[in-house]
Chains A and B, each alone.
Chain A
Amino acid sequence: MPAEATPAIELRGLTKRYGPLTAVDRLDLTISAGETFALLGPNGAGKTTTIECCEGYRTPDEGTVRVLGRDPRRDARWLRPRVGLMLQEGGVYPMARPPEVLRLFAAFHAAPLAPDELLARVGLEDARRTRVRDLSGGQRQRLSLALALVGRPEVLFLDEPTAGLDPAARRRTWEHVRELEAEGVTIVLTTHLLDEAEQLADRVAIIDQGRLVALGTPDELTHGQGREVAFSARPGLDRAALAAAVGAPVDEPRPGRYVIHAENSPRLVARLAAWLEQHDVVLGELQAGKRSLEDVFLRLTDETDQTREPAA
């Protein structure tokens, strides 16, 4: 089999249940080698379960998972030296110091990165003497990242890599992810941050209640799926009146956020502006042609909420 034919990760009908709860529901995904892929979804959507099936921590109830063409549980010994991972919980000895843990993990690999250099690169030079339990949240995340990288993985799983980080630390982590991408590492990350997915990922899968609800590049997701003009203003506008004025249906997917389902045109924008003036409404944001990933995300996850949950 030619090497380029093997996807880095392949999920076919992946299903995982915890008792009555279906955490992941018939998920199909194919992730190419060298791709940076984001699993995006609200808390409890099944992101971590999906990634832990890929890491070999969970056995699927149905369906198959292949990482570098192998089964994560059966071929764990082959995969472990090739896969780096970052757990949400961290999982580092609280009483150890960063260089000790990094050297330990380096000893598990034949050709690891130099621990001291790696420590400096992730910015933990000043924390060499600090016990892990005394590190800040951001420092711990960076140590976890370094531990994931020390074996020079071909595939990297990052579960919420920037959770709890301040914006500056988040940007530094993004820089690291981009460097790794440039080196050809396949990266799968979970996030509930839309800008993170948009900034980092070649492709994004939006998952809600265990199901794939959208898949594509950030551009595809924000451009595709019909033409529309979106704007923000104070909540509770008279949508029927507005729809009549602009000649197209109007939705309010969440309070203060409006979507006009019509092709973007100078006439439409003029009518909208006129209506806003008549009703003395201050425009917040106007978006035509391209939706934010946030809109896509909220729309898709709202829809599934409405179809599955009885009205509260």
Chain B
Amino acid sequence: MSPSVRGSGPDTAADHTGPAGGLAAGAAPLADVDRRTPTARANLAQAAMEVRLLVRSGESLVVTLGIPLGLLAFFSVVDVLPTGDERAVDFLLPGVLAISVAATGLVAVAIQTAFERKYGVLKRLGGTPLTRTGFLVAKGLAVGMIVLVQFVLAVGLALGALGWRPAGGWLAAPLLVVLGAVTFTALGLLLAGTLRAEATLALSNALFLVLLLVSGVTFAVDPLPGVVAAFGQALPLGALGTALRAAFAGEGLAVGPTAVVAAWGAAAIVLSARRFRWEP
């Protein structure tokens, strides 16, 4: 960042050094204060605050951890879903990872950011040395933390308790999870930065539910009408689930579905960059 050296700023403190007991008592005179912004420290502190607030919100924990892990455990044990020929857990785990990522980016981050905007938090942060880039880096780090926990818990649960044995995908799957996290976070931020907070709350939950139903992530799309199934695969959740399923089946990176996820992400980023409003 700007390693700015004090130059043209007026020497205000020189002849006004405060009396003992002032708000800055004992500190260096105003003119001698180091004004270089500690960028890394600032961004990390912001990321830590983001994580703390996401974890502190009970609703957000239900959505980011409760729903995906609950789905995984319940439907792996109770084999009632049409999952095709595969074992339930083989079908479910990739879908649950996709759901986790969508829940974090599209629901939790969207709602949290929407209310931060509504309450003027984004505006106030804009008046600090934290840059917009730093703010986005912090959001990204926070999402990364949550997604990592989701990944470890879901994969751990599947491997440890549900007898899941993937054929591969240990390189492709993490990459897809990262791509999915970027895409869904960008979609979430697009909602948060353009709609009212209440509308974001309603819409992100509604979208999440629709995605769950049409995307073939918790059950195979065979029972759905063909149009609906195709529609679901054109949406980022369905595409991400399909790509992850292919990866864990040892088929490497499925180009088509991966491109669909990336396209949604790119569109959301471009739109967000143009339309995101920081002020209430």
Residues of A within 8 A of B (CB): 1, 3-4, 6-8, 33-34, 55-57, 68-69, 77-78, 80-83, 85, 87, 89-96, 100-101, 103-105, 107-111, 113, 118, 121, 147, 149, 151-152, 154, 176, 179-180, 182-186
Q: Report chain A residues within 8 Å CB of B28.
A: 111
Task: Identify B35's interface contact among A81, A85, A147, A180, CB under 8 A.
Answer: A81
Q: Is B53 an interface residue (CB 8 A)?
A: yes
Check A182/B16 contact, CB under 8 A, given A89-B280, A111-B28.
Answer: yes
Q: Tell me the smallest distance from the CB of B128 to a CB of chain A, in Å.
A: 5
Extra 10 A-B pairs, beta carbons < 8 Å, given A93-B53, A93-B119, A179-B22: A3-B11, A91-B124, A92-B119, A96-B49, A107-B45, A110-B35, A113-B24, A149-B24, A184-B15, A184-B17
A78 x B2 contact (CB < 8 A): yes
Pick from B2, B10, B46, B49: contact of A6, CB under 8 Å: B10
Question: By the criterion CB–CB under 8 Å, are A82 and B123 in contact?
Answer: no
Report how many residues on chain B are interfacial, defined by Cβ distance under 8 Å: 56
Chain A CB count within 10 A is highest, among B12, B36, B119, B279, for: B12
Interface string of B8-51 (1 = CB under 8 A from A): 11111111111101111001111001111110011011100100
Closest 9 CB pairs of A and B: A91-B124, A184-B16, A91-B120, A107-B45, A183-B18, A89-B120, A33-B10, A110-B34, A184-B13
**Chain A residues near B14 (CB, 8 Å)?**
184
Q: Does B90 contact A (CB under 8 A)?
A: no
Q: Which residue of B lies closest to A147 (CB)?
A: B124
Q: Within 8 Å of chain A (Cβ to Cβ): is B130?
A: yes
CA distance in complex: A32, B14 (Å):
14
Describe A's contact surface by its main secondary structure: loop
CB neighbours (8 Å) of B24 from chain A are 113, 149, 152, 183
B41-81: CB near A (< 8 Å → 1, else 0) gives 11011100100110011000000000000000000000000
**Pairwise interchain contact B124-A90, C-beta atoms closer than 8 A:** yes
Partner of B9, one of A94, A95, A154: A154
Tell me the bound Cα distance from A154 to B30 in angstroms: 7
Q: Are B23 and A149 in contact (CB under 8 A)?
A: yes
- Is the CB–CB distance between B16 and A93 below 8 Å? no
Complex Cα distance, B280 from A80, in Å, reads 20
Distance in Å: Cβ of B155 to nearest Cβ of chain A: 30
Cβ-defined contact, A80 with B49, below 8 A: no
Which residues on the B side are within 8 Å of A8 (C-beta)? Answer: 10, 12
A183 to B24, CA, bound (A): 8
B124 proximity list for chain A (CB < 8 A) = 87, 89-92, 147
Contacts of B21 in A (CB 8 A): 179
